[in-house]
Structure 1
Amino acid sequence: MSTDVATTERASTALTIADDQTRFTSQQVTVLRHLGVDGADEDDLDVFFHVAKRTKLDPFARQIYMIGRNTYDQRQDRWVTKQTIQTGIDGYRLIGRRAADAARARISVSAPEWAHEDGSWRPVWMKAWGSPIAARITITRDGEPFTGVALFEEYAQTKRNGDLTSMWAQRPGGQIAKCAEALAWRLAFPQDLAGVYVEEELQHADRQEPEHPATGAGVAGLRDIVQPPAPSPADEEPVDAEVVEEPAAPARDWAGEAEALDDVTALRSLYAEAAAAGATREEKAAIARRGVAVSAGGQS
């Protein structure tokens, strides 16, 4: 039984993507606009067509869709709209299994696991435990494992005040597990899933920075040890103070230092030091990932 979505074997309509078609027709573009593809130019639509045809997902059945996300551009120092191509986790599974069938590859998908703050990986997640540190899922392709590990702090969608949105607050385990599974599928079938993301992976992308950023953690106890700096008097100015320019300290390789550590306590201290030094989100996430890996390995 064929799993193809838009083929000429089915009842053909004006929306059916023909085998020899190279871009969306004007009528198809009109329908896409009606379905919510706003602000996309011709180049965006050509990319969308290419991905839809390559993945064999039907954009008119909402199996795959393009959405403009409000993203902060640091280079331009302003918010911009960026078109992204998304599907649901079921679409990812369909693409992956089709790719496996085409390659005659044997695949298996593990049950999800969630990282608790105590360093353990748990086969179920209870809401009473709060939010998991991370989730992981392994897809095995012809005996080779591909494990996707998604850190909650990197993907969770928050409101402007830093609180989780309703979906991430109600289903923290399920939301982050979808992100981990998507990562695993993309590791196992990078060519087939290039340029396509599940919605949960990108929900954080168009959030605004919280007015009072919450201290985050990737390993047990990091939330408690990373404290905001003490406030400085805003109206006080130094009197007769001599300004002495200190030589700039060399940039630290936070990720490299984290990889050299095999102790969770030391990683917590490194995370706190990095946060106090103004390390980037990516640098702190690298320390957190190392902490999760060390905890999962049973090291102290």
Structure 2
Amino acid sequence: MTTDVATSERPTTALTIGDDQARFTSQQVAVLNHLGVQGADDDDLDVFFHVAKRTKLDPFARQIYMIGRNTYDQRQDRWVTKQTIQTGIDGYRLIGRRAADAAKVRISVNAPEWAHEDGSWRPVWMKAWGSPVAARITITRDGEPFVGVALFEEYKQVKRNGDLTSMWAQRPAGQIAKCAEALAWRLAFPQDLAGVYVEEELQHADRQEPEQPTTGAGVAGLRDIVQPAAGAPAEDEPVDAEIVPDSAAGRDWVAEAAALGDIDDLKNLYAEAGLAGASRDDLGFIARRGVAVEKAAGEHS
């Protein structure tokens, strides 16, 4: 099954990105807003359109998406929202292999390796060893190796208290391996992957947040809490329908949310659920649970 962005040679709809199209139409922008691309100005949307056409990933099929991340601007001495363009690791693989086909080059991707604190590199990682020091993956392009090495300390996502978030605590080897693979793909195909990142690469940039974020109520309130801090999808934010984390199948998002009492874990769960294509009802439940936990924490502080 192809995942190319629709062209004029295929059945078209109002959301089809045409070969001769230069920017999003007003109807496409309206749908993007519905999918969660909010707060982006015309320049941001033009960049997003350019990247979507260059990578041939479809924003309306949720293969690629744009998220506003809350970043502290030292020059302005205030928090500002900056738009980042993201996909999943499968999106990177798709772009890389298309680029290789177009350039008529041969590529191979080796299995990941993880660095132990004793200095050795290991082909598998045991939970008993804790978190790996780093992960590396090599992509060979026409005989030339491109090695991506990602240090765990530089990419891990932590809560306010310094503990790993649930996903990084449960799957440290898998999370850091995605970062290493993304680095390797970008080294091998820098032109094709410029300006696009995988979620795991950007999570570490969201550790710092305003001390007293303004929050509302319900789903909109969790968007205030979650999106700036974890880059998590908003209620209807674009998530990749094709890219589903291997641990997401069959998960009971409602039960997991109900069992969590930490706002950082709920933020991470909200992001995971969105990327896994969870239903609007499930996302809404996680949102309401997050707002309730945030409110309870404020009452006891």
TM-score, scaled relative to structure 2? 0.68
1:113 corresponds to 2:113: yes
The one-letter code of the counterpart of 2:116 is: H
Partners of 1:61 and 1:174 in 2: how far apart?
A: 25
Corresponding residue for 1:100? 100
Q: Determine what percentage of the aligned residue pairs are the same residue.
A: 91
- Higher RCO (CA 8 Å, separation ≥ 6 residues): 2
Corresponding residue for 2:261? none
1:60 corresponds to 2:84: no
SS in 2 for 1:157: coil
Alignment check: 8 A CA contact 2:3 2:57 kept: no
Corresponding residue for 1:26? 26
Q: Structure 2: which 5+ residue stretches go unaligned?
A: 212-301
Partners of 1:209 and 1:50 in 2: how far apart?
A: 30
Q: Which moved further from structure 2: 119-128 or 68-77? A: 68-77
Change beyond 3 A, Cα 1:110–1:139: same
Partners of 1:6 and 1:194 in 2: how far apart?
A: 22
Corresponding residue for 2:227? none
CA deviation after TM superposition for structure 1 residue 2, in Å: 6.0
Change beyond 3 A, Cα 1:122–1:152: same
Partners of 1:133 and 1:10 in 2: how far apart?
A: 47
1:182 corresponds to 2:182: yes
Corresponding residue for 1:85? 85
Q: Structure 1: which 5+ residue stretches go unaligned?
A: 212-300
CA deviation after TM superposition for structure 1 residue 11, in Å: 1.9
CA deviation after TM superposition for structure 1 residue 72, in Å: 2.3
The one-letter code of the counterpart of 1:126 is: M
Partners of 2:117 and 2:209 in 1: how far apart?
A: 25
CA deviation after TM superposition for structure 1 residue 6, in Å: 2.2
Partners of 1:197 and 1:47 in 2: how far apart?
A: 14
The one-letter code of the counterpart of 1:77 is: D
Aligned length: 211
CA deviation after TM superposition for structure 1 residue 209, in Å: 7.3
Partners of 2:72 and 2:164 in 1: how far apart?
A: 19
CA deviation after TM superposition for structure 1 residue 128, in Å: 1.6
Partners of 1:65 and 1:86 in 2: how far apart?
A: 6
Change beyond 3 A, Cα 1:210–1:29: closer
Alignment check: 8 A CA contact 2:14 2:27 kept: yes
Corresponding residue for 1:139? 139
Alignment check: 8 A CA contact 1:160 1:210 kept: no
SS in 1 for 2:205: coil
Change beyond 3 A, Cα 1:161–1:76: farther
The one-letter code of the counterpart of 2:21 is: Q
SS in 2 for 1:99: helix
- Which of the pair has more CA radius of gyration? 1
TM-score, scaled relative to structure 1? 0.68
The one-letter code of the counterpart of 2:137 is: I
SS in 1 for 2:118: coil
CA deviation after TM superposition for structure 1 residue 76, in Å: 2.8
Partners of 2:66 and 2:150 in 1: how far apart?
A: 23
Corresponding residue for 1:45? 45
Partners of 1:146 and 1:4 in 2: how far apart?
A: 26
Alignment deviations for residues 12-34 of structure 1 (CA, whole Å, 9 cap, x no partner): 11000001000000010011001
SS in 1 for 2:72: strand
Q: Which moved further from structure 2: 42-51 or 9-18? A: 9-18
